[in-house]
Structure 1
Amino acid sequence: MLSLASGYGNFAVPKVALAAADEALRQAREHGQPLSVSPAAGLPELREALAQRYRQRGATSVTAEQVLVTAGAKTGLFAVLSEILRPNDDVLLPTPNWFGFYDLVRRASGTLRPLPLSAADNYAFTPEMLRAALTPATRLLILSNPGNPTGRVYSQNEWAALLAVAAEFPNLWVLSDEIYEGISFGPEPVPTLLAQPGPHERHVVVSGFSKSLALAGWGVGCLVAPPELARAVAARLFSTGVAVPVTAQQAALAATQHANAIGAALCAQLQPTRQLLLAGLAALPGASAVVAPEGTYYVFADFTRFLAPGLPLPEASAQLVRRLAAAGVEVVDGATCGAPGFLRLSYAVAEEDLRRALAIIEATVRA
């Protein structure tokens, strides 16, 4: 089975991260002592390095006190959602979006309300759309930047326009999932929410190391929140789990210190398969112009023209995904992200595997 469905790339672990983890283990081995145990909120030096990186990206007021190191991004997301949300709180999620938000919001007692965006205008999200969707009962707006599965990057100006509307709702929290921020092919770096004014101090960023810094499998995430919320989340993490192992945090610290170089290397590695996938999709029957996604290592491709007629869209979408799987290619059904008939295809795979997968996809849809 060839998989274009995985959320993890085929990236080698950065040498600087491996060396840092090896050094932590060497110290324990040579001195015959147990590994040190990190504070629940993370190693102070990693928290400071992350804060410094956000300050370099324009979030000049971020301090280490606001940064928490979590056992993967999901743990951070669930912890912060559990602190912010009250039972049945309204959570606005522009879609298509990462399928994991649905269950995380439900488990944190919230009620998720999708706000469908359109591929026709490249998933534009305007202030007018946001104002029409928000109500006084809306507790949280979640936005992914870059977007998973779409790869859409919202610019500094787009953020500013949306947040001007959000500021009219003083009880509204805004959460930005920025885990793919280093995988970007646009002319400008991906902006962070933290660099935007937050008059009500209700901006939160969740991120991690598995995507943009090639530390898949190391189980390290992070979040940045206003000080009071950060303290509450740290207390929750202390009460409900254990700190991320020091070896993994040392690897994450080294990756953070070399983030720009690692991100640039990953984007260079991805360029050939990115072009291959875009060309392969453009060669399919009835293909219209494919908008190259600016971020992530996915293409969210429109396959609605290949769906079986007469079936409800979600059922027809699932049927197509099953046909592809039976032929030997795994993909993510866009229905799980709020867009049935679209497929999320990863190009963070070996070039030969991608060529074989594209040949199978073309043969399947032509059959």
Structure 2
Amino acid sequence: MSVETKNPQATQVLSERINRLAESATIAMAKKARELEAKGQAVIKLNFGEPDFQTPDHIKAAAKQAIDDGFTFYTPVSGYPQLRQAIADKLKRDNGLKWEAENIVVSTGAKQSLANVLMCLLNPGDEVVVFTPYWVTYREIIKVAEGKPVMVSGSLENNFKVTPEQLKAAITPKTKAILYSSPSNPTGSVYSKDELRALADVLKAHEDVFVIADEIYEYVIFQDEYVSMGAFEDMHDRVVTVNGFSKGFAMTGWRVGYLAAPTWLASACDKLQGQFTSGTCSIAQKAAYAAITGDLAPSHDMAKAYLRRRDLVLDLMKDIKGFKTYLPDGAFYIFPDVSYYYGKSDGENTINNSIDLCMYILNNAHVSLVPGEAFGADNCLRFSFAASDEDLKTAMQRIKTVLEKLN
């Protein structure tokens, strides 16, 4: 969805940069859901990638204490030294990443961290290989940075994961970086140690290509082992790890993310951020410190709840004709292939693509989802199971009922 305006001359006045930029599909679907709610409809929202849990109490308490202690002034651009060191310690302990505080840049959400890295790395025309399905913002940030996204699609049969052969075929002399998420948004797929090693082996022959690993869903994982590609000794200085507090700590509104990168790149990101936003909110940083150094039991409990909900949704989807599913190993999404319904009609609406099906479900079942087209996979829809059991059961029954009207 492109930028909209009521001024018909706006596209002539606005920059080409903003006219090329697409609106976030998740935000666009949220707007449409609110429009239905304004008309009195009870909409079940399975479109947003947001935990439905409250931020843990010890994190809230740290924020309140920070206010009382007077942490209300500008912060260092890259974040408080104490928080940066705590992040470096966490990365060493949990991920095998040998970074120091100077290699950490704290930003206003992981989205800004990704933008910082891409803006600092890319020149016009540089290519970024993006593992597809991809998070909706990847393509747009690359475009803003004047790079060229090169999409490489994983198959549902392989849990949407890209193979080494596919990666090798996608790399050209113009390739500057590889960008992927694990666990993935929108699929919930998680790359294993062996799978990451095989991808890293492909990159041995391309020493000038960097890897940007989005690990924001690290704590929402349903298997025993989580591996970062940067933990491989031969890849450590070529992998930029992006993470944050939104998903694993239910801190979406606090807006704290971070990146870990070689000193030269971290310094460049500090320089860029210093001109755009400066340092992240002082109170939110104090809360983030409490999160990353405190009790992880609430995060583990949330992951257990998501696992139970995943299994619930998969079980309910078995009763919906035409849905092709797989087993997500992390995050809180399921991304079924729904192309069975393309070409079908209820007599008034004909379904041609994921946008049509999303709007049909929203208008008739009053359940908001996100079309797969926004993630580079038009055969699919993204369901978030970050919702109550009751809402999930009701949503699936409503969807099943309205889809039975298509033939």
TM-score, length of structure 2 as denominator length: 0.84
Unaligned runs of 5+ in 2: 1-42
> Equivalent of 1:268, from 272, 284, 304?
304
1:353 maps to which residue?
Answer: 391
Question: Which amino acid counterpart does residue 164 of structure 2 have in structure 1?
Answer: P
Q: Distance in 1 between matches of 2:216 and 2:101?
A: 19
Task: Summarize the Cα distance change of 1:143–1:90 in structure 2 as closer, same or farther, 3 Å threshold.
Answer: same
1:99 corresponds to: 136
Distance 1:279 1:307 in 2: 23
Residue 241 to residue 293, structure 1, CA distance change in 2 (3 Å):
same
Gaps of 5+ in 1: 29-33
- What secondary structure is seen at the aligned counterpart in 1 of 2:254? coil
The offset of 1:131, in angstroms, is: 1.2
Distance in 2 of aligned mates of 1:17 and 1:200: 31
1:45: which partner in 2? 82
1:244 aligned partner = 280
With over 3 angstroms needed to count, the CA separation of the structure-2 counterparts of 1:58 and 1:323, relative to structure 1, is closer
Aligned 8 A contact 1:314 1:341 in 2 = no
State the shift of 1:291 in Å.
Answer: 2.1
| 8 Å Cα contact 1:213/1:259 also seen in 2 | no
Q: 1:214 is matched with which residue?
A: 250
What amino acid is the match of 2:66? A
Task: Give the CA deviation at 1:199.
Answer: 5.1
Say whether 1:54 aligns with 2:91: yes
Distance 1:200 1:282 in 2: 42
Determine the C-alpha separation between the residues in 2 that align with 1:166 and 1:259: 37
Does residue 331 (structure 1) correspond to residue 366 (structure 2)? The answer is no
Q: Distance in 2 between matches of 1:232 and 1:212?
A: 28
Deviations 1:44-64 (A, max 9, x none): 111111111110124252111
Deviation string 1:15-36 (CA, Å, 9 cap, x unpaired) is 11101001011123xxxxx723
Correspondence for 2:170: 133
Number of equivalent positions: 358
SS of the residue corresponding to residue 335 of structure 2 reads: strand
Do structure 1's residue 35 and structure 2's residue 75 form an aligned pair? no
The whole-number CA distance in structure 2 between the counterparts of 1:160 and 1:5 is 33
CA contact (8 A) 1:314 1:335 kept: no
CA contact (8 A) 2:77 2:274 kept: yes
For 1:274-328, what per-residue CA distance to the aligned partner results, in whole angstroms no more than 9, with x for missing partners? 222111111112455x322001000111111122259xx9942211111001020
The change in CA–CA distance for 1:343 and 1:228 in structure 2 (over 3 A counts) is same
Alpha-carbon RMSD across the aligned residues, in angstroms, is 1.8
Tell me if the contact between 2:186 and 2:382 (Cα under 8 Å) persists in the aligned partners.
yes
Q: Percent identity?
A: 33
Residue 341 of structure 2 aligns with which residue? Answer: 306
Corresponding residue for residue 61 of structure 2:
19
Change beyond 3 A, Cα 1:232–1:287: closer
Offset at 1:263?
Answer: 2.3
2:204 corresponds to which of 167, 184, 208: 167
Distance in 2 (CA, whole Å) between partners of 1:81 and 1:259 is 33
Shift of residue 245, structure 1, vs aligned partner: 1.4
- Please tell me whether the aligned partners of residues 314 and 340 of structure 1 are also in contact (alpha carbons under 8 angstroms): no
Judged with a 3 Å threshold, the aligned counterparts in structure 2 of structure 1 residues 341 and 200 are, in CA distance, closer, same or farther, namely closer
CA deviation after TM superposition for structure 1 residue 260, in Å: 3.5
Q: Specify which of 274, 284, 294 is matched with residue 258 of structure 1.
A: 294
